[in-house]
Chains A and B, each alone.
Chain A
Amino acid sequence: MSRSPGIDKTERRAGGYLAGARAAVPFALATFALGVSFGVLARSLGWGVVAPVVFSVIAFSGSAQFAVAAVLGAGGGAIAAVLAAVLLNARFGPMGVAVAPYLKGGPLRRALEGQAVVDASWALASRGGGRFDREFMIGATLPQGVAWIVGTVVGALGGDFIGDPEKLGLDVIFPAFFLALLAEELREARAIVVALIAAVLALSLVPFVSPGVPVIAACAAAMLGLRRSS
């Protein structure tokens, strides 16, 4: 074992990726099940095998892909489908700004590293006070990406062995996890107030706007961070 600082740094970084990957395993399992159900759904819409798999590889965006399937499946056009997907993914804009100072390299590499921003990884990598753990986030996204793509392949090939993921209660895995991550964020009174405002804002908007918009609008509650703490 060398003790040179360079190697120590590399080891620590590798440890960060690994810790992130490990923390994301439960999310990856749920993502796999969702991937299978996306593949099955795409098959039922007559998309074949290649299109849904390519979609999962190049978009890697569960909620947006389900939205596209819903819009196109209901006879909607490309523009409506793209709009639904963009609204659902709009939250990744502010999330990307938040992690930006912690990413590395020039614009191209930063753009690439920014692709690792997904809800679970971003929240897992949040270290409080607006700080983020880059290695942890990227490490957490990798198993989820693999699970999503492999799940899509299995589902698209007709491996409908999971059946309805809702029957197993798998659809509550994400909100339940997000609740656990939220609990860890509520260390100060201000965060609790922000969370309450965001929740009320999001819920009150659901009946009036497209899915995705309530979540992005609820980000406005974070403006409370501007108030001087007394």
Chain B
Amino acid sequence: MSTLWVTIVVVALASAAIKASGPVLVGGRDLPPRAVAVIAMLAPALLAALVVTETFGEDRHLVLDERAVGVAVAGLALALRAPVLLAVALAAVATALVRAFV
């Protein structure tokens, strides 16, 4: 039991420290223009990485499964200018259907 509690507390502290580090170290200062230029590109980089790892990643393996179908459906819906919520709902439905019937 104590292993669990030690882990819980340390993970919580580490997680809080990681999230606090940027705001505390940078403070209220404006970042230098070069840093802002990099940060402006952080969202596309992070989001792209999250999309592909959450779609094709399974621990340390790359897999092509029902998730890819759902995300592809969402991409198609978004390309056709569907509202975001509809695109996401279609993704979930497509993935669920493929899992159930294929």
Contact of B88 among A26, A72, A225 (CB under 8 A): A26
Residues of A within 8 A of B59 (CB): 211
Given A72-B4, A101-B28: A202 in contact with B52 (beta carbons within 8 A): yes
Q: How far is the CA of A220 from the CA of B11 in the complex (A)?
A: 25
Question: Which stretch from A1-9, A10-18, A154-162, A183-191 is at the chain B interface?
Answer: A183-191
Q: Which residues of B contact A107 (CB under 8 A)?
A: 24, 27
Min Cβ gap B24→A in Å is: 5
What would 11 A/B residue contacts be, using CB atoms closer than 8 Å? A60-B15, A93-B22, A96-B20, A101-B31, A113-B23, A169-B92, A179-B51, A182-B44, A198-B44, A203-B57, A218-B45
Q: CB within 8 A of A115: which of B20, B39, B66, B84?
A: B20
Asked if B74 and A78 make an inter-chain contact with CB atoms under 8 angstroms apart, the answer reads no
User: Taking the nearest CB of chain A, how far is it from the CB of B53, in angstroms?
Assistant: 5
> Do B88 and A100 touch (CB < 8 A)?
no
- Given A172-B95, A226-B38, is A96 in contact with B44 using a C-beta cutoff of 8 Å? no
B84 A177 Cβ-Cβ under 8 A = yes
B12: chain A residues within 8 A (beta carbon): 55, 58-59
A positions within 8 Å CB-CB of B: 26, 47, 51, 54-55, 58-61, 64-65, 68, 72, 77-78, 81-82, 85-86, 89-101, 103-104, 107, 110-115, 117, 119, 122-123, 126, 128-130, 166-183, 185-186, 190-192, 194-199, 201-203, 206-211, 214-215, 218-226
Residue contact A180 to B48, C-beta cutoff 8 Å: no
State whether A64 touches B47 (Cβ < 8 A).
no
Query: Known contacts A167-B96, A203-B56: does B51 contact A225 (CB below 8 Å)?
Result: no
**CB contact under 8 A between A169 and B91, given known A178-B54, A206-B56, A225-B40:** yes
**Do the beta carbons of A166 and B99 come within 8 Å of each other?**
yes
Number of A-B contacts (CB under 8 A): 298
B51 CB, nearest partner CB in chain A, Å: 5
Q: Give the interface SS of chain B, mostly helix, strand, loop or mixed.
A: helix
Out of B8, B22, B24, B53, which one reaches A203, CB within 8 Å? B53
